[in-house]
Amino acid sequence: MIAEGKRNMTAKSSGLEGIIVGDTAISTVGKEGLGLTYRGFDIHELAAKSTFEEVAFLLTYGNLPKSAELHAYREKLIKLRRIPNELKTVLELMPRSAHPMEVLRTGISMLGTLESESTHYKDHQIADRLIACTPSILLYWYRFHQFNEKIETWNSNEPTVAGYFLYLLHGEKPSDEMRRAVDVSLILYAEHELNASTFAARVTASTESDFYSAIVSAIGTLRGALHGGANEEAMRLISNYKTPEQAEKGVRELLAKKAKIMGFGHRVYKKSDPRSDIIKEWSKKLSANARDGYLYPVSEAIEKVLWDEKKLFPNLDFYSASAYHFCGIPTPLFTPIFVMSRLTGWSAHIFEQRGNNRLIRPEANYNGPGPRAFVPVDQRG
């Protein structure tokens, strides 16, 4: 990483825009002729033909699994779902008012003390463990504080991560349509090159810190509204409107006040986000059976205003919001689903960073005061 560092000593970029800081073999984002690919596979094909477990294996182990490998991987993830009692106690002690991203940040950090990298596990074992048990951590806390229930976290009724998450959330088998909708969304969220949270994970990994610390850095970074937190903000926005006309009027007013509309725009993509049309289709499909299916036309009206007024397009977060909502998922759990998925991309980047490490340490232009004489405290007046 930071291969270009020496050559670009004087280059400066606000928000590191356009700066290439190294090589990766994991994904391409918006590259001419490639678009979004995970290890060479186009995102449209993966979303149409694969499952999240195949994608998780592809990202963390480097290749699509053969049939027997996929079976063994699924079995392994099921066995790794159970969370330790000490962690359950911590989840019970956390406040009901905590944000679920705080719960994941702290829960995964706690797991790192119980199953620390140095004494228990190595790279891939930790990645597998976290992919398997993050829904357990999240929903143990959620069901305990919302319904005063202590759920079992070894359940194997639902073999996929998407099905397991929905099963733990609702306490019953999900419909095939909802299970597949969440599965596809996990595929879409899995990896996205050097987005802010992945970069944070790589910076932490580059100091030779432990795996859990790198993941916790990434979770804290993902939470912000400009990154993963945008899907929750998008839901809050669309929930304000009952009709497309109300939405159009309301969003025009927001734009007139120079407000940012969460779920729109992107640092790298300039014309469209290739993931958006895929999740939009799912949102439309799910809206047909939803009580508040009007939120889909409301979303389309907002999309049109943003395009007409600012030539801004929806990113993955915008239609993910209504798709999740139609699956009966509470809004504060949206960004944690992003974590459940992006753990795969973060893990792949931690492995890649460790495989060819150099400390990530850029420089800043100093624009503070010039040299000044120090005055002892008793003479400062």
Which residues are annotated as catalytic? 227, 266, 317
Check: CB of residue 149 under 8 Å from CB of residue 143.
Answer: yes
d(CA 53, CA 64): 10
d(CA 56, CA 41): 13
Note the Cα 257 to chain centre separation in Å.
29
The nearest distance, CB 264 to ligand ACO, in angstroms, is: 4
d(CA 205, CA 203): 6
Instruction: Using alpha carbons, select from 78, 83, 296, 278 the residue that is nearest to residue 167.
Output: 78
Nearer to ligand ACO, 132 or 306 (CB): 306
Note the Cα 248 to chain centre separation in Å.
29
The residue of the chain with the least Cβ separation from ligand ACO equals 265
Check: CB of residue 83 under 8 Å from CB of residue 215.
Answer: no
Nearer to ligand ACO, 51 or 335 (CB): 335
The nearest distance, CB 226 to ligand ACO, in angstroms, is: 4
Nearer to ligand ACO, 126 or 222 (CB): 222
Nearer to ligand ACO, 15 or 368 (CB): 15
d(CA 200, CA 85): 30
Q: Which residues bind ligand ACO (CB under 6 A)?
A: 15, 226-228, 230, 260-267, 310, 312, 315-317
Length of the chain as a residue count: 381
The nearest distance, CB 288 to ligand ACO, in angstroms, is: 25
Check: CB of residue 1 under 8 Å from CB of residue 15.
Answer: no
SS3 342: helix
Nearer to ligand ACO, 128 or 303 (CB): 303
The nearest distance, CB 227 to ligand ACO, in angstroms, is: 5
The nearest distance, CB 276 to ligand ACO, in angstroms, is: 10
